[in-house]
Structure 1
Amino acid sequence: MEKNTSINLTFILCFMFLICNVININAQDLNKTKTKSEFWEHVQLGGGLGLGFGSGYTNITIAPSAIYNFNEKTALGLGTQYSYVYQKGFYKSHIYGGSIIGLFNPIQQIQLSAELEQLRVNNSYETTGNDFKDDFWNTALFIGAGYRSQSVTIGLRYNVLHKDKNNVYVDALMPFIRIYF
Protein backbone atom coordinates (compact mmCIF):
# COMPACT_ATOMS: atom_id res chain seq x y z
CA MET A 1 0.00 0.00 0.00
CA GLU A 2 1.39 3.41 -0.91
CA LYS A 3 1.83 6.19 1.64
CA ASN A 4 -0.58 8.51 -0.23
CA THR A 5 -3.32 5.90 0.01
CA SER A 6 -2.73 5.58 3.78
CA ILE A 7 -2.97 9.35 4.20
CA ASN A 8 -6.19 9.48 2.14
CA LEU A 9 -7.68 6.66 4.20
CA THR A 10 -6.78 8.53 7.38
CA PHE A 11 -8.67 11.62 6.23
CA ILE A 12 -11.67 9.52 5.16
CA LEU A 13 -11.71 7.74 8.52
CA CYS A 14 -11.45 11.05 10.37
CA PHE A 15 -14.50 12.40 8.51
CA MET A 16 -16.48 9.20 9.10
CA PHE A 17 -15.65 9.13 12.80
CA LEU A 18 -16.70 12.74 13.26
CA ILE A 19 -20.07 11.93 11.69
CA CYS A 20 -20.40 8.87 13.93
CA ASN A 21 -19.66 11.03 16.97
CA VAL A 22 -22.53 13.38 16.09
CA ILE A 23 -24.85 10.38 15.64
CA ASN A 24 -23.67 8.96 18.98
CA ILE A 25 -24.50 12.19 20.85
CA ASN A 26 -28.05 12.08 19.48
CA ALA A 27 -28.40 8.34 20.24
CA GLN A 28 -27.29 8.90 23.85
CA ASP A 29 -30.14 11.35 24.35
CA LEU A 30 -32.63 8.74 23.12
CA ASN A 31 -31.19 5.97 25.35
CA LYS A 32 -31.22 7.89 28.64
CA THR A 33 -34.53 6.29 29.65
CA LYS A 34 -33.24 2.70 29.23
CA THR A 35 -31.38 0.92 32.03
CA LYS A 36 -28.35 -1.31 31.53
CA SER A 37 -26.71 -3.94 33.71
CA GLU A 38 -23.67 -2.89 35.76
CA PHE A 39 -21.30 -4.68 33.36
CA TRP A 40 -22.66 -3.07 30.18
CA GLU A 41 -22.46 0.41 31.69
CA HIS A 42 -18.65 0.02 31.50
CA VAL A 43 -18.51 -1.36 27.95
CA GLN A 44 -17.91 0.85 24.91
CA LEU A 45 -18.11 -0.25 21.29
CA GLY A 46 -16.15 1.23 18.43
CA GLY A 47 -13.90 0.35 15.57
CA GLY A 48 -12.83 1.44 12.16
CA LEU A 49 -13.99 1.36 8.58
CA GLY A 50 -11.68 2.08 5.68
CA LEU A 51 -12.53 2.48 2.02
CA GLY A 52 -10.08 3.31 -0.73
CA PHE A 53 -10.77 3.22 -4.45
CA GLY A 54 -8.73 4.21 -7.48
CA SER A 55 -8.08 3.22 -11.06
CA GLY A 56 -8.04 -0.58 -10.76
CA TYR A 57 -7.42 -0.35 -7.00
CA THR A 58 -9.70 -1.32 -4.09
CA ASN A 59 -9.02 -1.32 -0.34
CA ILE A 60 -11.80 -2.21 2.11
CA THR A 61 -11.24 -2.62 5.85
CA ILE A 62 -13.65 -3.30 8.70
CA ALA A 63 -12.38 -3.45 12.28
CA PRO A 64 -14.95 -3.58 15.11
CA SER A 65 -13.78 -3.48 18.72
CA ALA A 66 -15.02 -3.20 22.29
CA ILE A 67 -13.42 -2.01 25.53
CA TYR A 68 -14.28 -2.42 29.19
CA ASN A 69 -13.63 0.67 31.35
CA PHE A 70 -12.38 -0.40 34.79
CA ASN A 71 -12.46 3.24 35.91
CA GLU A 72 -11.98 6.72 34.36
CA LYS A 73 -8.28 6.06 33.72
CA THR A 74 -7.94 2.43 32.53
CA ALA A 75 -9.65 0.22 29.95
CA LEU A 76 -8.96 -3.10 28.26
CA GLY A 77 -10.49 -4.38 25.04
CA LEU A 78 -10.60 -6.76 22.10
CA GLY A 79 -10.83 -6.11 18.39
CA THR A 80 -11.07 -7.98 15.13
CA GLN A 81 -10.10 -6.89 11.62
CA TYR A 82 -10.66 -7.88 8.00
CA SER A 83 -9.12 -6.16 4.97
CA TYR A 84 -9.40 -6.80 1.26
CA VAL A 85 -6.84 -5.11 -1.01
CA TYR A 86 -6.84 -5.48 -4.79
CA GLN A 87 -4.66 -3.98 -7.53
CA LYS A 88 -5.90 -5.02 -10.99
CA GLY A 89 -3.46 -7.23 -12.85
CA PHE A 90 -0.95 -7.34 -10.00
CA TYR A 91 -2.05 -8.04 -6.45
CA LYS A 92 -4.85 -9.34 -4.22
CA SER A 93 -4.73 -9.67 -0.44
CA HIS A 94 -6.99 -10.87 2.38
CA ILE A 95 -5.87 -9.80 5.85
CA TYR A 96 -7.70 -10.90 9.00
CA GLY A 97 -7.04 -11.26 12.70
CA GLY A 98 -7.53 -9.79 16.12
CA SER A 99 -6.04 -7.54 18.77
CA ILE A 100 -5.94 -6.80 22.48
CA ILE A 101 -5.74 -3.15 23.53
CA GLY A 102 -5.01 -1.47 26.84
CA LEU A 103 -5.81 2.22 27.35
CA PHE A 104 -4.61 4.57 30.08
CA ASN A 105 -5.75 8.18 30.52
CA PRO A 106 -3.37 9.97 32.94
CA ILE A 107 -5.48 13.10 32.42
CA GLN A 108 -8.80 13.47 30.64
CA GLN A 109 -7.31 14.84 27.39
CA ILE A 110 -4.39 12.39 27.01
CA GLN A 111 -4.73 8.72 26.12
CA LEU A 112 -1.81 6.26 26.15
CA SER A 113 -2.25 2.86 24.55
CA ALA A 114 -0.62 -0.51 24.02
CA GLU A 115 -2.08 -2.86 21.42
CA LEU A 116 -0.98 -6.36 20.45
CA GLU A 117 -2.25 -7.32 17.00
CA GLN A 118 -1.99 -10.68 15.22
CA LEU A 119 -2.96 -10.78 11.53
CA ARG A 120 -2.99 -13.53 8.93
CA VAL A 121 -1.98 -12.22 5.50
CA ASN A 122 -2.88 -14.09 2.30
CA ASN A 123 -1.32 -12.38 -0.73
CA SER A 124 -1.67 -13.42 -4.39
CA TYR A 125 0.56 -11.82 -7.03
CA GLU A 126 -0.04 -11.88 -10.78
CA THR A 127 3.07 -11.49 -12.91
CA THR A 128 3.77 -12.20 -16.56
CA GLY A 129 3.65 -15.98 -16.82
CA ASN A 130 4.29 -16.58 -13.11
CA ASP A 131 1.63 -16.21 -10.43
CA PHE A 132 2.58 -16.86 -6.80
CA LYS A 133 1.22 -16.65 -3.28
CA ASP A 134 2.79 -15.22 -0.15
CA ASP A 135 0.98 -16.18 3.08
CA PHE A 136 2.31 -15.24 6.51
CA TRP A 137 1.44 -14.12 10.04
CA ASN A 138 2.14 -10.53 11.05
CA THR A 139 2.47 -9.57 14.70
CA ALA A 140 2.47 -5.91 15.73
CA LEU A 141 2.90 -4.29 19.14
CA PHE A 142 1.74 -0.68 18.97
CA ILE A 143 2.62 1.88 21.64
CA GLY A 144 0.60 5.05 21.16
CA ALA A 145 -0.38 8.42 22.51
CA GLY A 146 -3.18 10.71 21.52
CA TYR A 147 -5.35 13.70 22.30
CA ARG A 148 -8.79 12.69 23.57
CA SER A 149 -12.01 14.67 23.39
CA GLN A 150 -15.05 12.81 24.75
CA SER A 151 -15.20 9.51 22.82
CA VAL A 152 -12.69 10.45 20.07
CA THR A 153 -8.90 10.09 20.29
CA ILE A 154 -6.51 11.27 17.57
CA GLY A 155 -2.84 10.39 17.84
CA LEU A 156 0.22 8.43 16.73
CA ARG A 157 1.24 4.86 17.41
CA TYR A 158 4.55 3.10 16.88
CA ASN A 159 4.95 -0.59 16.01
CA VAL A 160 7.93 -1.73 18.07
CA LEU A 161 7.96 -5.08 16.18
CA HIS A 162 8.03 -3.48 12.71
CA LYS A 163 10.27 -5.11 10.11
CA ASP A 164 10.52 -4.27 6.44
CA LYS A 165 9.95 -7.83 5.17
CA ASN A 166 6.61 -9.61 5.64
CA ASN A 167 4.84 -6.63 7.13
CA VAL A 168 1.34 -5.33 6.66
CA TYR A 169 2.27 -1.72 7.39
CA VAL A 170 4.59 0.48 5.30
CA ASP A 171 5.98 2.39 8.29
CA ALA A 172 6.39 1.68 12.00
CA LEU A 173 4.87 5.09 12.89
CA MET A 174 1.19 5.49 12.05
CA PRO A 175 -1.52 8.07 12.75
CA PHE A 176 -4.76 6.77 14.26
CA ILE A 177 -8.29 7.86 15.08
CA ARG A 178 -10.01 5.87 17.81
CA ILE A 179 -13.71 6.20 18.69
CA TYR A 180 -15.70 4.34 21.31
CA PHE A 181 -19.41 4.93 21.94
Structure 2
Amino acid sequence: MKKNTTKTLTSFLLFVFLFCTSFSVQAQVSSENNTKSFFWDKVQFGGAFGLGIGNNYTNITVAPSAIYNFNRYFAAGLGIQYSYVKQKNFYESNLYGGSALALFHPIEQIQISAELEQLRVNTEYNSFYGGYRHDFWNTALFLGAGFRTNNVTIGVRYNVLHKDDDGVYADAFMPFIRVYF
Protein backbone atom coordinates (compact mmCIF):
# COMPACT_ATOMS: atom_id res chain seq x y z
CA MET A 1 0.00 0.00 0.00
CA LYS A 2 1.34 3.43 -0.87
CA LYS A 3 2.42 5.78 1.91
CA ASN A 4 -0.16 8.48 0.94
CA THR A 5 -2.97 5.92 0.81
CA THR A 6 -2.04 4.64 4.27
CA LYS A 7 -1.96 8.20 5.61
CA THR A 8 -5.35 8.99 4.03
CA LEU A 9 -6.93 5.80 5.38
CA THR A 10 -5.47 6.41 8.85
CA SER A 11 -6.79 9.98 8.87
CA PHE A 12 -10.23 8.83 7.73
CA LEU A 13 -10.44 6.10 10.39
CA LEU A 14 -9.31 8.55 13.08
CA PHE A 15 -12.04 10.98 11.99
CA VAL A 16 -14.67 8.21 12.10
CA PHE A 17 -13.52 7.14 15.57
CA LEU A 18 -13.61 10.68 16.96
CA PHE A 19 -16.97 11.38 15.30
CA CYS A 20 -18.56 8.21 16.72
CA THR A 21 -17.02 8.82 20.16
CA SER A 22 -18.53 12.30 20.35
CA PHE A 23 -21.93 10.85 19.43
CA SER A 24 -21.75 8.17 22.13
CA VAL A 25 -20.88 10.77 24.79
CA GLN A 26 -23.77 13.02 23.76
CA ALA A 27 -26.15 10.07 23.61
CA GLN A 28 -25.91 9.70 27.38
CA VAL A 29 -27.80 12.98 27.91
CA SER A 30 -31.54 12.33 28.09
CA SER A 31 -34.51 14.63 27.77
CA GLU A 32 -36.71 15.67 30.71
CA ASN A 33 -39.32 12.97 30.18
CA ASN A 34 -36.63 10.22 29.87
CA THR A 35 -38.63 8.46 27.13
CA LYS A 36 -36.28 9.41 24.31
CA SER A 37 -32.80 10.88 24.44
CA PHE A 38 -32.13 14.39 23.17
CA PHE A 39 -29.41 12.98 20.93
CA TRP A 40 -31.70 10.63 19.00
CA ASP A 41 -34.21 13.43 18.38
CA LYS A 42 -31.59 15.04 16.13
CA VAL A 43 -30.51 11.91 14.22
CA GLN A 44 -31.88 11.04 10.79
CA PHE A 45 -31.30 7.82 8.86
CA GLY A 46 -31.31 7.42 5.10
CA GLY A 47 -28.98 6.63 2.29
CA ALA A 48 -29.11 5.23 -1.20
CA PHE A 49 -29.94 2.08 -3.10
CA GLY A 50 -28.97 1.68 -6.72
CA LEU A 51 -29.77 -0.96 -9.31
CA GLY A 52 -28.56 -0.92 -12.88
CA ILE A 53 -29.24 -3.82 -15.20
CA GLY A 54 -28.48 -3.81 -18.90
CA ASN A 55 -27.03 -5.81 -21.75
CA ASN A 56 -25.00 -8.38 -19.76
CA TYR A 57 -24.32 -5.69 -17.13
CA THR A 58 -25.27 -5.56 -13.45
CA ASN A 59 -24.64 -2.82 -10.87
CA ILE A 60 -26.08 -3.10 -7.35
CA THR A 61 -25.32 -0.50 -4.66
CA VAL A 62 -26.41 -0.27 -1.02
CA ALA A 63 -25.29 2.84 0.91
CA PRO A 64 -26.99 3.51 4.27
CA SER A 65 -26.06 6.64 6.23
CA ALA A 66 -27.01 8.67 9.27
CA ILE A 67 -26.76 12.39 9.99
CA TYR A 68 -26.87 14.42 13.17
CA ASN A 69 -28.60 17.84 12.95
CA PHE A 70 -26.59 20.26 15.09
CA ASN A 71 -29.12 23.01 14.36
CA ARG A 72 -31.39 24.03 11.45
CA TYR A 73 -28.36 25.07 9.36
CA PHE A 74 -25.72 22.36 9.92
CA ALA A 75 -25.71 18.55 9.90
CA ALA A 76 -22.96 15.94 9.65
CA GLY A 77 -22.93 12.20 9.35
CA LEU A 78 -21.34 8.94 8.35
CA GLY A 79 -22.17 6.37 5.72
CA ILE A 80 -21.07 2.98 4.48
CA GLN A 81 -21.28 1.65 0.95
CA TYR A 82 -21.12 -1.65 -0.90
CA SER A 83 -21.37 -2.04 -4.67
CA TYR A 84 -21.24 -5.08 -6.91
CA VAL A 85 -20.55 -4.45 -10.59
CA LYS A 86 -20.29 -7.10 -13.30
CA GLN A 87 -19.89 -6.92 -17.07
CA LYS A 88 -20.43 -10.48 -18.31
CA ASN A 89 -17.35 -12.01 -19.94
CA PHE A 90 -15.25 -8.94 -19.07
CA TYR A 91 -14.92 -8.12 -15.35
CA GLU A 92 -16.43 -8.41 -11.89
CA SER A 93 -15.86 -5.80 -9.19
CA ASN A 94 -16.64 -5.32 -5.48
CA LEU A 95 -16.42 -1.83 -3.95
CA TYR A 96 -16.79 -1.15 -0.24
CA GLY A 97 -15.96 1.64 2.15
CA GLY A 98 -17.27 4.62 4.02
CA SER A 99 -17.86 8.33 3.87
CA ALA A 100 -18.17 11.40 6.05
CA LEU A 101 -20.78 13.98 5.08
CA ALA A 102 -21.34 17.63 6.04
CA LEU A 103 -24.51 19.52 5.10
CA PHE A 104 -25.26 23.25 5.23
CA HIS A 105 -28.73 24.76 4.70
CA PRO A 106 -28.39 28.55 4.19
CA ILE A 107 -32.16 28.59 3.64
CA GLU A 108 -34.62 25.74 4.14
CA GLN A 109 -34.87 24.86 0.41
CA ILE A 110 -31.12 24.84 -0.41
CA GLN A 111 -28.57 22.23 0.67
CA ILE A 112 -24.80 22.64 0.23
CA SER A 113 -22.77 19.49 0.88
CA ALA A 114 -19.24 18.14 1.21
CA GLU A 115 -18.57 14.41 1.32
CA LEU A 116 -15.29 12.56 1.69
CA GLU A 117 -15.54 8.99 0.42
CA GLN A 118 -12.96 6.21 0.68
CA LEU A 119 -13.64 2.99 -1.25
CA ARG A 120 -11.67 -0.22 -1.61
CA VAL A 121 -12.01 -1.55 -5.16
CA ASN A 122 -11.38 -5.21 -6.02
CA THR A 123 -11.71 -5.97 -9.73
CA GLU A 124 -11.07 -9.28 -11.45
CA TYR A 125 -10.81 -9.34 -15.24
CA ASN A 126 -11.81 -12.31 -17.40
CA SER A 127 -9.00 -14.58 -18.68
CA PHE A 128 -9.61 -13.31 -22.25
CA TYR A 129 -8.60 -9.81 -21.04
CA GLY A 130 -5.53 -11.02 -19.17
CA GLY A 131 -7.13 -12.70 -16.16
CA TYR A 132 -5.66 -10.29 -13.68
CA ARG A 133 -6.82 -8.52 -10.52
CA HIS A 134 -6.72 -4.78 -9.94
CA ASP A 135 -7.13 -3.84 -6.27
CA PHE A 136 -6.85 -0.21 -5.16
CA TRP A 137 -8.21 2.52 -2.90
CA ASN A 138 -10.33 5.28 -4.45
CA THR A 139 -10.72 8.60 -2.63
CA ALA A 140 -13.37 11.10 -3.70
CA LEU A 141 -14.19 14.54 -2.32
CA PHE A 142 -17.62 15.65 -3.49
CA LEU A 143 -18.86 19.24 -3.25
CA GLY A 144 -22.54 19.58 -4.07
CA ALA A 145 -25.67 21.67 -4.06
CA GLY A 146 -29.31 20.73 -4.24
CA PHE A 147 -32.94 21.73 -3.83
CA ARG A 148 -34.51 20.41 -0.62
CA THR A 149 -38.15 19.80 0.20
CA ASN A 150 -39.05 18.02 3.46
CA ASN A 151 -36.75 14.96 3.73
CA VAL A 152 -35.70 14.82 0.05
CA THR A 153 -32.86 16.70 -1.67
CA ILE A 154 -32.22 16.58 -5.43
CA GLY A 155 -29.00 18.04 -6.76
CA VAL A 156 -25.60 17.60 -8.33
CA ARG A 157 -22.16 17.06 -6.81
CA TYR A 158 -18.64 17.41 -8.20
CA ASN A 159 -15.66 15.21 -7.34
CA VAL A 160 -12.74 17.62 -6.96
CA LEU A 161 -10.27 14.67 -6.85
CA HIS A 162 -11.52 13.13 -10.12
CA LYS A 163 -8.94 11.87 -12.64
CA ASP A 164 -10.14 10.90 -16.12
CA ASP A 165 -8.35 7.56 -16.44
CA ASP A 166 -7.93 6.61 -12.79
CA GLY A 167 -10.66 5.77 -10.32
CA VAL A 168 -14.19 4.54 -9.96
CA TYR A 169 -16.29 7.32 -11.43
CA ALA A 170 -16.45 8.00 -15.16
CA ASP A 171 -17.26 11.69 -14.71
CA ALA A 172 -16.54 14.31 -12.05
CA PHE A 173 -20.17 15.53 -12.03
CA MET A 174 -22.80 13.26 -10.52
CA PRO A 175 -26.51 13.86 -9.85
CA PHE A 176 -27.88 12.76 -6.48
CA ILE A 177 -31.09 12.23 -4.54
CA ARG A 178 -30.80 12.17 -0.74
CA VAL A 179 -33.59 10.97 1.53
CA TYR A 180 -33.40 11.14 5.34
CA PHE A 181 -36.12 10.13 7.80
Partner of 2:164: 164
Aligned counterparts of 1:67 and 1:152: Cα–Cα separation in 2: 14
2-structure distance, mates of 1:99, 1:43:
17
Structure-2 change in CA distance of 1:93 and 1:129 (3 Å): closer
Where do 1:70-149 residues align within 5 Å? Answer: 70-128=70-128, 130-149=130-149
Shift in Å, 1:131 = 0.5
CA distance in 2, matches of 1:100, 1:129: 36
Match of 1:128, SS state, is: helix
Aligned twin of 1:10: none
Relative to structure 1, the CA distance from residue 171 to residue 135 in structure 2 (aligned partners, 3 Å threshold; closer, same or farther) is same
One-letter identity of the residue aligned with 1:163 = K
* Distance in structure 2 (CA, Å) of the matches to 1:155 and 1:87: 28
Distance 1:127 1:163 in 2: 27
**In 1, Cα distance between equivalents of 2:41 and 2:129:** 57
Cα pair 1:136 1:166 within 8 Å, conserved: no
Report the Cα distance in structure 1 between the residues aligned to 2:75 and 2:41, rounded to whole angstroms.
Answer: 13
| Alignment-mate amino acid for residue 59 of structure 2 | N
- Alpha-carbon displacement from aligned partner over 1:35-70 (angstroms, at most 9, x marks no partner): 521100000000000111123211100000000000
Residue 54 of structure 2 corresponds to 54
SS at match of 1:39: helix
Identity %: 67
> What stretches of structure 1 of length at least 5 have no aligned partner?
1-34
Task: In structure 2, list runs of 5 or more residues that go unmatched.
Answer: 1-34
* Residue of structure 2 equivalent to 1:175: 175
Q: TM-score w.r.t. structure 2 length? A: 0.79
Change (3 A) 1:129 1:54: closer
Match of 1:106, SS state, is: coil
2:36 is paired with a residue whose SS is coil
For these two proteins, the number of residue pairs brought into alignment is 148
Q: Residue 89 of structure 1 aligns to a residue in which SS?
A: coil
Alignment RMSD (CA, Å): 1.4
Deviation at 1:127, TM superposition (A): 4.2
Q: Does 1:41 align with 2:41?
A: yes
> Residue 106 of structure 2 aligns to a residue in which SS?
strand
Of 109-118 and 54-63, deviating more is: 54-63
